[in-house]
């Protein structure tokens, strides 16, 4: 997907940044309104950014891969924290804990 690709009004574009080590990492998020879950993974293929298009909404982090931390919207997040993707997009960075 191209970063400049258009999205529908009810969608959010999520940019997932890889750690400097390109070590992968993943998390599960669940839409609070619909209860739909999405698997989000960062790159382990030396491509710095991956893009996901998901429905706009507020999401709960339900799982984070062992050995990783999640940073988004300027702070570190934990399981059961929320992420707000109601404004059409945002970012997630998965950082190894070593």
Q: Which domains does the chain have, with CATH numbers?
A: 11-96 (2.60.40)
pTM > 0.85: yes
Q: How many CB atoms lie within 10 A of CB 52?
A: 19
Pair 67, 35: CB distance under 8 Å: no
- Of residues 16, 19, 23, 20, the one with CA closest to residue 1: 16
CA distance linking residue 45 with residue 57, whole number of Å? 29
- Of residues 3, 2, 11, the one with CA closest to residue 88: 11
* Mean pLDDT per 10-residue interval, the chain, length 98 residues: 75 84 84 96 78 94 94 92 93 87
Per-residue pLDDT at 20 = 67
Would you give the DSSP letter of residue 19? P
Per-residue pLDDT at 71 = 92
């Amino acid at each position: 997907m191209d970063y400049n690709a258009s999205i529908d009004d009810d969608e959010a574009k999520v940019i997932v940044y890889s750690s400097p080590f390109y070590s992968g990492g993943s998390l599960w998020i669940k839409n609070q309104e619909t209860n739909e879950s999405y698997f989000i993974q960062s790159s382990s293929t030396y491509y710095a950014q991956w893009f996901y298009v998901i429905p706009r909404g507020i999401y709960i982090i339900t799982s984070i891969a062992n050995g990783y931390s999640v940073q988004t919207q300027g702070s570190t997040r934990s399981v059961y924290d929320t992420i707000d993707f109601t404004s059409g997009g945002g970012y997630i960075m998965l950082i190894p804990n070593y």
